[in-house]
Structure 1
Amino acid sequence: MAQKRIITGLDIGTTKICVIIAESSEDGLLEVIGIGTSPSLGLRKGVVVDIDQTVRSILDAAGKAERMAGVQIDTAFVGIAGAHINSINSHGVVAVTGPEKEIKESDIIRVVEAAQFINLPPDRHIIHVLPREFIVDGCRGIKDPLGMSGTRLEVETHIVTGLVTSVQNLVKSVQKAGINITEDHVVLEPLAASEAVLNDDERELGVVLIDIGGGTTDIAIFQEGNIAYTSVLPVGGDHVTYDIAYGLKCSHIKAEEIKIKKGCAIADMIPEDESVEVMAASGKKKYEIPRRYLCEIIEPRMHEIFSLVQKEIVKAGYEGLLPAGAVLTGGASLMEGNLELASEVLGLPTRLGTPENIHGLVDFLDEDLYRFQPDINNFNTAVFATAVGLLRYGANQIFYGENMEKENNLMENLFGRIRGWIKEFF
């Protein structure tokens, strides 16, 4: 019988905080047992700007999930984003030790550590060191060099960094909410989302993941099965909402409702006779506007977002090298017309990325989540991509760590028996 573990994903976004508790087994199956969401009040563009408000929002979302699951959250895997995120590719090289020149776990650890010796400003913190490929005696494209023979081991890595203060404030907020985490539990959000919505073929061919959140748009480029480039743009769905509120002179709440229910990223897709009812900011007067006029407000902002993504693809050197196209995910990706507009601007085939192979609570009811999206009744939606991805990332880390510990214990027991035999017979 597959062993199960309780894993929690904590998606701290600009507009909402989402907590999902799941049971995970070694075969990769995730069974959701609790979920809670809460409006995010202490963040701006993915960065904590008010710790006390952030703590209250986390406590609210976590409390809902705990009550539903009937368990208490001890630790969690937490997503991080924000314009402070940077990335760089780095190279490391070491000599293989030992008389037989066989690559051991210690050699792999040393070469990855060697890749981390880069010049970083004192205000930057390394969040991830992600191996892209290993090179043994000049032979490239090796995924796992353990057990291979060679004299020279190299690695190409992708290193993700963030501002020290931003990482610390995020960790501090979660810890003050009573959840035990360290900086090792902090996961780059597009990396987490990719765990939920990308398949192996897309990663191998070359694909760009575009996670459109409330305050940021996260980008991750994959090629040959590995992550090659990451970036976070300081613009997202909230900027569309602000444009609508300003253009229609209505409240932010009403603008968000109109965006979700009636928004479209391409105005020409809307018939000229469709209209939208708008409540004035005073709350005392309603009036109607053509729906196409609403979409003419939305389209320039969405075009700007996809144009910025295109610039990042060119900057990274992957223009024309992404045959698997683009995958959109995140709450703001659900708007009508987004796929068509993204495909037009990026010049790539585009699909919507939704989590797969996740089961459990389907007919849940969360007042905050359902406020404008009553049609969301399961976890196979882009809204939950990051939270589900955090669960998958956490499950992989936990079971890998446990297996490594078992292997180490077995080796220690074996060496212990050998030492015992030597003492007994000699």
Structure 2
Amino acid sequence: MNANGDIIVGLDIGTTKICAVVGEVSGKEIHIIGIGSHPSIGLRKGVVVNIESTVSSIRKAVEEAELMAGCEIRRVYAGIAGGHITGFNSHGIIAIKGPEVTEADVERVIEAARAVAIPTDREVIHVLPQEFIVDDHFGIQNPVGMAGVRLETKIHIVTGAVASAHNIVKCCNKAGLEVIDVVLEALASGEAVLSPEERELGTALIDFGGGTSDLAVFSGNNIRHTFILPLGGNNLTNDIAIGLRAPIADAERIKIQHGTCLSEGIHPEESIEVPGMAGRDPRKLPRQILGEIIEPRVEEIFTLLKREIYRAGMESRISSGIVLTGGGAMLHGVADLCESIFNLPTRVGRPMGVGGLKDVIQDPNYATAVGLVLYGAKQDENSQMKVREKGFFSAIIAKIKEWFKNAI
């Protein structure tokens, strides 16, 4: 435990890697003091398929972060993604009981908006207020204290498969960790890479991960739409492995070192060495072939995401453009290809708004984990609860024991 401030830990449980980031809250500032990363074994497209392998990967990433930060990690904010995640908008309306809106009225109207039928095999992960309406006044962020007779709200509800969410929590528990909250990874990434101006004016955030590509539309400082596409960097790797007849591990290395989304810009004489399979001799192939494999797949992913934005009627809400993050955002030429497909300004989003080891985390790979720390700090500030204060749970247990003793 670090004595200087409160410790918040973000755990990004991804398809290709598991990343733990330790942040120390000091006043209004957050300093990153520890980072741990380990290849993810046991997940497919964001869903746990092997609990023991996932637990082992979590332990190794957390141990590395503990060594760097010099503290013991017991509680984390865990990220969740996967094709099972769905988001939809809802609307609620109530009559204001008193002369002005109270906190109780806000809670009642949110409960009215979330009173929708959800299948028994799904659970609510987030209820995100978008705006409040008092009588005919729209776009209100906090209606408490305002006079009126009718209060309405628009919210975004994110749901996920019960089994998938519980498996993530179970893996963390088996690794000796308590999960404070399960957070949608696209929401967390937005905390880390978007500027206040982008969140206000309207931006489409694309978290280009290994197993999935997560879309989140932000506008008016709130999230307006979420969508998970079960295609990502691993699909590129598989395409390369099949197209070049190379082992998966070598296909991943070739993608990182030589991959590009702009096949037209490759010089005809450029070549790459492809290791042979099962002891066969390595081969030299034109790099042009690699570009012709990667470009169509990335174009397909962005086209499907663009189609989803138009299907949801969100095209008018992304005035400031596209922000790409996640491991896939490191691919050469990906921002240029995205810009040409969406016809909107595009940039690669890197974590910002933190101190400490900020030079180390200036990588889209760390966007979700850093975002989880920022999300946790915001929740901590709102609830006035110390995320991992020394002796916090011991004090609660002592109070419960005392209460029972007095009751008996």
Instruction: Please report the TM-score for the alignment, with normalisation by the length of structure 2.
Output: 0.91
Q: Which residue of 2 aligns with 1:407?
A: none
Structure 1 residue 120 and structure 2 residue 124: aligned?
no
SS state of the match for residue 181, structure 1? strand
1:403 CA drift (Å): 7.6
**How far apart, CA to CA, are the structure 1 residues paired with 2:51 and 2:141?**
41
SS state of the match for residue 6, structure 1? strand
1:357 CA drift (Å): 2.8
1:320 CA drift (Å): 4.4
SS state of the match for residue 76, structure 1? strand
Give the 5 Å matches for 1:260-279: 260-279=256-275
Kept after mapping to 2: 8 A contact 1:277/1:287 = yes
**How far apart, CA to CA, are the structure 2 residues paired with 1:74 and 1:222?**
32
Instruction: Please report the TM-score for the alignment, with normalisation by the length of structure 1.
Output: 0.87
Whichever residue aligns with residue 220 of structure 2, its letter is E
**How far apart, CA to CA, are the structure 2 residues paired with 1:40 and 1:321?**
35
**How far apart, CA to CA, are the structure 1 residues paired with 2:377 and 2:110?**
22
SS state of the match for residue 367, structure 2? helix
Give the 5 Å matches for 1:7-406: 7-27=8-28, 29-98=29-98, 101-182=99-180, 185-361=181-357, 378-402=360-384
**How far apart, CA to CA, are the structure 1 residues paired with 2:373 and 2:107?**
25
Whichever residue aligns with residue 136 of structure 1, its letter is V
Whichever residue aligns with residue 42 of structure 1, its letter is G
Give the RMSD, CA atoms, in angstroms.
Answer: 1.6
Instruction: Give deviations 1:87-146, integer Å, cap 9, x for gaps.
Output: 110111222223xx2211111111111111001111110000000000111211101111
**How far apart, CA to CA, are the structure 1 residues paired with 2:174 and 2:385?**
31
SS state of the match for residue 315, structure 2? coil
Kept after mapping to 2: 8 A contact 1:14/1:44 = yes
Q: Which residue of 2 aligns with 1:369?
A: none
Instruction: Give deviations 1:248-306, integer Å, cap 9, x for gaps.
Output: 11111111111001000110011111111111122442121111111111111101111
1:340 CA drift (Å): 0.9
SS state of the match for residue 246, structure 2? coil
Whichever residue aligns with residue 402 of structure 1, its letter is Q
SS state of the match for residue 107, structure 1? helix
Kept after mapping to 2: 8 A contact 1:313/1:319 = yes
Q: Percent identity?
A: 49
**How far apart, CA to CA, are the structure 1 residues paired with 2:135 and 2:73?**
47
Whichever residue aligns with residue 105 of structure 1, its letter is E
Kept after mapping to 2: 8 A contact 1:358/1:379 = no
**How far apart, CA to CA, are the structure 2 residues paired with 1:296 and 1:287?**
18
1:25 CA drift (Å): 2.7
Whichever residue aligns with residue 16 of structure 2, its letter is T
Whichever residue aligns with residue 88 of structure 1, its letter is F
Kept after mapping to 2: 8 A contact 1:358/1:380 = no
Q: Which residue of 2 aligns with 1:409?
A: none
Whichever residue aligns with residue 153 of structure 1, its letter is L
**How far apart, CA to CA, are the structure 1 residues paired with 2:108 and 2:314?**
30
Which ranges of structure 1 fall in alignment gaps of 5 or more residues?
A: 363-376, 405-426
Q: Structure 1 runs of 4+ off > 3 angstroms? A: none
Say if 1:378 and 1:283 are closer, same or farther in 2 by CA, change over 3 A. farther
**How far apart, CA to CA, are the structure 1 residues paired with 2:249 and 2:30?**
34
1:39 CA drift (Å): 1.1
Whichever residue aligns with residue 226 of structure 1, its letter is N
Kept after mapping to 2: 8 A contact 1:26/1:399 = no
Range moving further from structure 2, 274-283 or 152-161: 274-283
1:195 CA drift (Å): 0.3
**How far apart, CA to CA, are the structure 1 residues paired with 2:51 and 2:348?**
33
Q: Which residue of 1 aligns with 2:390?
A: none
SS state of the match for residue 186, structure 1? strand
Whichever residue aligns with residue 144 of structure 1, its letter is N
Whichever residue aligns with residue 263 of structure 2, its letter is A
**How far apart, CA to CA, are the structure 1 residues paired with 2:122 and 2:224?**
20
Which ranges of structure 2 fall in alignment gaps of 5 or more residues?
A: 387-408
SS state of the match for residue 123, structure 2? strand
